[in-house]
Structure 1
Amino acid sequence: MPLISPDDGYLTVFNLFETETREGQERVVDEMKDIIDKATYPGWISSTVHAGVDTPGTLNYIQWRDLAALEARYAGERFKNKTVPLFNELATSVRLLKTEVEFTQHHPGLGESIEISPKRDDYAVFILLSVEPENQKELLDTLAKPDEWLKTVPGYRSHTYYRGLDGTFVVNYAQWESKELYDAFHTLPEEERPADVREGRVRARSLATSRWANSFRAVHSRSAEL
């Protein structure tokens, strides 16, 4: 089962696909399932396909041993001549984000680790923050730190911050009990948040140049036999 940990040293890749319809989303999910079930790539650790909830789209959460293993996969003729054209045809936009885990936090009730699995019922929120390379570290320093108040918020399960390898973005992948509880947190008036949290949010907004978000549910997962 895929686990999120800053200690494993894995490269985490987010494959984001946007589609205009739910039918298009399902086609991408089906193609992703087929690829994952046949995966035997050297250095591949795991893949977990997520289906869009709020907006049509697909997220594939992929763990690789290192960047060299990923680049070897991309250099393959089948990937370049079959896989890439297929998904460019199926999706209205395709983004491939190479990252490293910088910080994780989870509710004590989850146990010792953060698991990603279709066997769970997590409402997964994906937030992509664009940033100028010279400000990426400060943005991470502002956001990627312990937040004890968040553990008291109804529905909170976990959140993880990732550093984009090219320096131009930061990702937040969070797990919540339900859409309703996440929406209640997301729309909570600023004055009801702790002062240090409010200050961090203001600073993060000043550093980020854009924000993109969608919500997902994991629908299929497979890990390599290590």
Structure 2
Amino acid sequence: MPYISLEDNHLTVLNLFTTDAPEKQDSLVAEMTKIVQAATYEGWMSSTVHAGVDSYGTANFIQWRSGEDLEKRYAGEEFNHRTLPVFGEITTSIRLLQNEVAYTLTHPSLNGKVEVGPHRDDYTAIEVFSVDAENQAELIDALGEGQKGIVDAPGFRTHVVLRGLRARGLEGSFVVSYSQWDSKETYDAHREQPEDTWPIGRQKADARIKAVVTDSNVNTYRVKLTRAAGDE
């Protein structure tokens, strides 16, 4: 199963799709599953398909050896004349985000390892933050080291901050938060906790985040499928 690590230096791609009906989400998952199960692209390392929970949509968390390998995929006939048209018919938005891992944090029981896959039954939250380029480093620090106290939150498993490099379907600089929780209930409880009861570290980090973020959106997911290069 794939791991998310600072040391691996993979190109991490998040393909985020939104749609407006449950049957369209099912179609998105089915189409993404077909692509992942047949993947043999040069430089492709792994794909993990997520189905939306709070809002209809999907996320594909993909690891590539390099940006050059990804661009070959984007330039191909299949991607431009089949993949994009098919997804265009059943989505309301498409964002293809290229990133690098900037920060990871895990619950002590996980020994520093961030693993993704349906066998873990994680409740996953993905939040995309828009930010001016000159404030990207500040946002990464506020979302990462600034929030390390999240490790004590009930139900917390892992937290990853991704530095946005370039994107299709999203203008300007961005940062992504990818976090795993043991249930929807514990994640919602953390999000909905009254601000006046937050630990001081969380209050300070939130103030720093609000000071630089220009826009943000979040959805939650369950992992449906993982496949890595070399898997049968």
TM-score (norm 2): 0.94
Answer whether contact 1:105 1:146 (CA < 8 A) is retained: no
Unmatched runs of 5 consecutive residues or more in structure 2: 167-171
2:124 corresponding residue in structure 1: 124
Answer whether contact 1:22 1:56 (CA < 8 A) is retained: yes
Give me the whole-angstrom Cα distance separating, in 1, the residues matched to 2:19 and 2:146.
35
- Cα RMSD (Å): 1.3
1:187 corresponding residue in structure 2: 192
Answer whether contact 2:105 2:148 (CA < 8 A) is retained: no
Answer whether contact 2:124 2:181 (CA < 8 A) is retained: yes
2:203 corresponding residue in structure 1: 198
2:36 corresponding residue in structure 1: 36
The number of residue pairs the alignment matches comes to: 226
Give me the whole-angstrom Cα distance separating, in 2, the residues matched to 1:2 and 1:27.
24
Among candidates 176, 189, 192, match of residue 171 of structure 1: 176
Answer whether contact 1:33 1:220 (CA < 8 A) is retained: yes
1:219 corresponding residue in structure 2: 224
Give me the whole-angstrom Cα distance separating, in 2, the residues matched to 1:147 and 1:76.
41
Unmatched runs of 5 consecutive residues or more in structure 1: none
Structure 1 residue 198: Cα displacement? 0.6
Structure 1 residue 146: Cα displacement? 6.5
- Identical aligned residues as a percent: 47
Residues 1-226 of structure 1 mapped to structure 2, 5 A cutoff: 1-145=1-145, 147-166=147-166, 168-225=173-230
Alignment CA distance shift 1:165-1:142 (3 Å): same
Give structure 1 regions of 4+ aligned residues with deviation exceeding 4 angstroms: none
Alignment CA distance shift 1:28-1:77 (3 Å): same
Give me the whole-angstrom Cα distance separating, in 2, the residues matched to 1:208 and 1:127.
12
Structure 1 residue 153: Cα displacement? 1.3
SS in 2 for 1:87: helix
SS in 1 for 2:96: strand
2:169 corresponding residue in structure 1: none
Give me the whole-angstrom Cα distance separating, in 1, the residues matched to 2:14 and 2:34.
18
Give me the whole-angstrom Cα distance separating, in 2, the residues matched to 1:162 and 1:92.
24
